[in-house]
Structure 1
Amino acid sequence: MAGVNRFTELLFWQKSRTWSKEIFQRTRRDPFALDRRLVVQINDSSESVMANIAEGFGRGTQGEFVQFLGYSLGGLNETQSHLVAAFDRDYLEREDYRTLFAQGTEIRKMMVAFMRSMVKTGSGVKHIRKYKSWSDEVWEMYEKFAGKQRPELYRS
């Protein structure tokens, strides 16, 4: 994650935050606001999307970050399911439903692409190439062709 020092700099976290806020605003309107159980569930699940991104980022390892991004995707799917229920109960207008569902899909695409880049072969922290210094390469050639080891003075 070169160039990213805080989870708040991740674009998919920023979009998750905006998405959660927009969902919260919709749940404050009647008749949605009267369905307290669904309001709590959809707000909790939408907030968990951004919270799991943040927690995974803070864990400090690539593996844990990817694991928490997986949890975040679960929360995203749960939120989209709650959006369907809200639409089916006539709590959301068709256009609000489409927009919110599409925003979730966009966030998912960004997260999945990021996760793939983290786990594909030859990527991520585990696969950082270690380059030999020019000096080490020269000494290795010396040892190979001269049949002698480099003097102790020049060993690292």
Structure 2
Amino acid sequence: MPNDVVSKLIEKTYQELNQAEKPQARSRISNTPNGYIFLVVWSNANLLRIFVRKFTENLPKSEYRLKAQFDDNARSVVANIEEGFARPTTMEYLNFLGYSRASLIEGKGDAQRSLQDGFLKSLPGSSLKDLEIDLSDWHEALKRSVISKPAGIKGDYRKLEESRGQNILNKQIPLNSFKFLYKPVDNLKAENLTYEIFIELINKTDWHLRKLVESLEKKLAREQKFHQVEKARIRSKLRLQ
């Protein structure tokens, strides 16, 4: 084999061996797989799902398609946030947040059509405050309802365990009477829901969702920039040899 061909093969092999490593594919693996519970957008989405369920339970049987679609959209907003959080890469997480936002916007359309068709009442000026719901208090109550925090753990959520149908007194709670231990939600009645309240919650959820996406896009850009810098460093090193 000619010497020049051998030299080119050696150089090619050397370059391949010295290529910059790509960002780790599993860079998002966390010791807290249910860490999404600390996201405001997740708690807001859960509240929206409860609102939707309360509302659709009172729809006429003839509106089964609206009920199924509205329920599915609300559930999808929550489920995609949870599944996206468990995905191993930032890009996958962003994709699932995109699915979540698409379902949220579709749900907004369901609320608008429910208003137009006379199933959802409008009361200008009505808001979450009329239901005595504070989103921060709701978030804390929701976290308490889905996890149990062992005594003595302060700020370390690595040992969080899922609640298994027990209340704070360690007594079994029937599954068909689950309570969030937050009265404004536990005592919520469908007739108190208005179009304005739905839109307020949807818009606030959308804002937090977009902010989360922006922060992850910045993280992704940093990861990609690191990879590009490493590639440039290797190329520079090869030119000097």
Per the normalisation by structure 2, the TM-score is 0.48
Which residue, 105, 122, 125 being the options, matches 1:77?
105
Superposed CA offset, 1:15-50 (max 9, x none): 10011111110111144x541110000000011000
Aligned-residue offset at 1:7: 1.5
Name the residue aligned to 1:18: 47
Letter in 1 for 2:217: V
- Listed as ranges, the gaps of 5+ residues in structure 2 are 1-27, 124-193, 227-241
More helix by share: 1
CA RMSD of aligned residues (A): 2.3
- SS for the counterpart of 1:35 is helix
Residue 40 of structure 2 aligns with an amino acid whose one-letter code is L
Residue by residue over 1:125-150, the C-alpha shift from the partner in whole angstroms, topping out at 9 and shown as x without a partner, is 72798xxxxxxxxxxxxxxxxxxxxx
By how many angstroms is 1:8 displaced? 1.8
**Quick one: which amino acid aligns to residue 13 of structure 1?**
W
- Residue 120 of structure 2 aligns to a residue whose secondary structure is coil
User: Does structure 1 retain, via aligned residues, the 8 Å contact 2:59–2:67?
Assistant: no
The equivalent of 1:154 in structure 2 is none
**Cα distance in 1, alignment partners of residues 79 and 102 from structure 2:** 12
2: CA distance, partners of 1:84 / 1:4: 41
* C-alpha separation in 1, matches of 2:223 and 2:57: 46
Give the Cα–Cα distance (whole angstroms) in 1 for the partners of residues 224 and 38 of structure 2: 24
Q: Deviations over 1:75-107 (max 9, x none)?
A: 001100111111111111113111101211110
Aligned partners of 1:4 and 1:10 also within 8 Å: no
- Alignment match, 1:114: 212
Q: Aligned partners of 1:74, 1:80: CA distance in 2, in Å?
A: 10
Contact 1:87 1:97 in 2 (8 A): yes
Give the Cα separation in 1 of the matches to 2:31 and 2:211.
17
CA distance in 2: counterparts of 1:104 and 1:44, whole angstroms: 15
C-alpha distance in 2, partners of 1:22/1:71?
20
The amino acid across from 1:126 in the alignment is E
Q: Which residue of 2 aligns with 1:60?
A: 88
1:43 to 35, 54, 71: 71
Q: Which runs of 4+ in 1 moved over 2 A?
A: none
- Identical pairs, percent: 24
Distance of 1:7 and 1:128 partners within structure 2:
27
Determine which of 188, 202, 215 is the counterpart of 1:104. Answer: 202
Partners of 1:89 and 1:127 in 2: how far apart?
Answer: 48
Q: Do the aligned residues in 1 keep the contact of 2:36 with 2:81 (CA within 8 Å)?
A: yes
Residue 62 of structure 1 and its aligned partner are, at CA, apart by 0.9
